Amino acid sequence: MQLTLWTYEGPPHVGAMRVATAMTDVHYVLHAPQGDTYADLLFTMIERLPRRPPVTYTTFQARDLGGDTAELFKDAARQAMARFNPAAMLVGSSCTAELIQDDPGGLAQALQLTIPVVALELPSYQRKENWGASETFYQLCRHLVHKPADPSETANKPAKARPSCNILGPSALGFRHRDDVKEITQLLNQLGVDVAVVAPLSASVADVQKLAEADFNVVLYPEIGLAAAQWLQRQFDQPYTKTVPLGSHATRDFIAEVCTLTGLPQPAQDPSNAHAHWYAKSVDSTYLTGKRVYIFGDATHVVAAARIASQEMGFEVVGLGSYSREFAREVRDCGKRYGVEALITDDYLEVETQIQSLQPELILGTQMERHIAKRQGIPCAVISAPVHVQDFPARYAPQMGFEGANVLFDTWVHPLMMGLEEHLIGMFREDFEFHAGAAPSHLGSTRPAAENVAPIVAAPVSAPLSAPVATTTPMPVAAHAPTETLSTDSVQKVAAPAQAASNQATWSPEAEKELGKIPFFVRGKARRNTERFAQDQGVATITVETLYDAKAHYSR
């Protein structure tokens, strides 16, 4: 048994629903108790689908258990067939039906339906949502994909025909899948590649049957599409792409990979809409250098985000992790590249603890990390499912390709203080609008300023308005030094509980006042560093001198 307050992934049958709902003419008959229909509203509310997911539930109740739940299943399948007239049917059990051990596959077979019926074995007490989606899509491929026409006929194809590929992995309830497909389709078309089938999203049974006819596969989301792609390679020698085009660098690698696979010439230049690279080089972005970032989400998005953060944004990756156990090895390897140990867990409390000890300046994560970040007053951007309704936006917002890189740049930088804004705050830090207690503008003016300071120490920050104007004389580095000079090894020091340290050293009123001049977004760290320094040095009262000694110490 595992105590769970929040879960990153749903049960595997929700993954199967994601595949069924993505497709156009598949129906899923799910042996499940009354109540499991709750999952419908993930699709109708979060993704705002204007139709019901194509799922029929047997919704058995306690009084059915003594009787014939198998008959109930057969009735449901028969009625779903008559009403929805699908081109293929998925049948399976939810967690409770798994326990009562009816056999949906065998029962459906007995009905002798005229359409392909795919029986799903989704072990609910071992596996989770993404695995369920991957397995469902793989089983659909195994049952549906036709052998392509004879190679000799293929050879007779007109010589000028463009190479073609399938896009595998996008599904219902996928984070930005809709726009990623659009972006990557455009990108492939510009290279000279036709997209034959996108699956499972918007695919029909007939589309899936044709999968083997394309020249190669593009795996956009390995969590869902990789198993099917590997099978297609084994069965039909159909190669698949290994690079996920998330970020400018990865998109270029992806283009190179596609060109190698197809023999097409590589474009000499990025397209005219590739702005992210220049934005990151522009001087306003200098302040992003070395920002300490923590990354958590599904494996694909985490591995990609780490590369973007480090190579394209100039951040320092101080921690990363994933809830995708199936891809733990990839995430661990990725962690090694940045000198951090990857956290593989589905327990958000572990993630929260790690974030607390690392005190990053930016968190990239799921909606769970968004809430952790809000509690800790740390800027955050969402990079991975699970996400809430606001991350299924009306506007075009891909993550992949060059437009995706633009979107990522904006999304990640927005919660941070822009360079110019940071500079101005340093300059006017005694100004009434930028006084010590003022909340960051992006957190809203109503946010009580105390929240920024409160978790660190109880002592109030001196009233900033009365502070002498003379202190505008430069100490601009003070604002940034403690942040920027923190390397991974000094992180360990920060990790020590702040509370214990603050109990031991007393702040002199002058030092407290001086501390108040440091902008709020680094003040907590400056305070902690100073206290740790004071403790190490055996200083009982922290004076202005101690403050600057500590600053010098940590700047080395």
Check binding of 52 to other proteins (CB under 8 A): yes
Residue 14 engages other proteins in binding (rule: CB under 8 A): yes
In the region spanning residues 388 to 427, those forming contacts with other proteins, defined by CB under 8 A, are: 388
**Contact region with other proteins (CB under 8 A), list: 48-56, 244-252, 257-265, 458-466:** 48-56
All residues at 6 or more sequence positions from 352 whose CB lies less than 8 Å from its CB, including other chains? 372
Query: Which one of the spans 11-19, 173-181, 315-323, 324-332 is the region binding other proteins (CB under 8 A)?
Result: 11-19
Q: Is 3 in the site for other proteins (CB under 8 A)?
A: yes
Residue 471: CB partners within 8 Å, gap ≥ 6?
A: 430, 517
Residues 24-43 that bind other proteins (CB under 8 A): 33-42
Tell me whether residue 249 or residue 447 sits nearer to other proteins (CB atom). 447
- By CB under 8 A, name the one of 6, 278, 396, 428 that touches other proteins: 6
122-130, 234-242, 305-313, 509-517 -> range binding other proteins (CB under 8 A): 122-130
284 is catalytic: yes
- How many residues bind other proteins (CB under 8 A)? The answer is 55
Q: Cβ of residue 375: shortest distance to other proteins, in angstroms?
A: 8
Does 62 bind other proteins (CB under 8 A)? Our answer is: yes
How far apart (Å, rounded) are the C-alpha atoms in residues 452 and 542? 21
By beta-carbon proximity to other proteins, the closer residue of 30 and 198 is 30
| Side-chain-side CA neighbours of residue 396 (13 Å) | 10
Among 243, 217, 254, CA closest to 232: 217
Nearer to other proteins, 229 or 368 (CB): 368
Find the binding residues for other proteins in span 83-102 (CB under 8 A): 83, 94-96, 99-100
Q: What's the per-residue H, E or C state across 346-413? A: CCHHHHHHHHHHHCCCEEEECHHHHHHHHHHCCCEEECCCCCCHHHCCCCCCCCEHHHHHHHHHHHHH
Please give the sequence-ordered ranges of beta strands (E in DSSP) within 94-132, or none if there are none: 117-119
Query: Nearest to residue 242, comparing CAs of 214, 219, 266?
Result: 219
Q: Which is nearer to other proteins, 64 or 410 (CB)?
A: 64
Phi and psi for 123 in degrees, rounded to 5? -70, 100
Stretch that binds other proteins, among 45-53, 196-204, 328-336, 513-521 (CB under 8 A): 45-53
Question: Tokens for 165?
Answer: 């590929």
DSSP for 488-506 reads: HHHHHHHHS-HHHHHHHPE
In the complex, what is the shortest distance from the CB of residue 46 to other proteins, in angstroms, rounded to a whole number? 9
- At its nearest, how many Å lie between other proteins and the CB of residue 351? 13
> Taking a C-beta distance cutoff of 8 angstroms, is the pair 177, 225 a contact?
no
Catalytic pick from 103, 270, 284, 410?
284
Which of 143, 182, 371, 423 forms a contact with other proteins (CB under 8 A)?
A: 371
Nearer of residues 124 and 139 to other proteins, judged by Cβ: 124
- Compute φ and ψ for 428, nearest 5 degrees: -110, 35
The region, left, alpha or beta by phi > 0 then psi within -120 to 50, assigned to residue 508 is: beta
Range list of H helices, 401-446: 401-413, 419-427
Contacting positions for other proteins (CB under 8 A): 1-7, 9-11, 13-14, 33-42, 44-45, 48-52, 56-62, 64-65, 76, 79, 83, 94-96, 99-100, 123-126, 128, 368, 371, 375, 388
Catalytic residues: 284
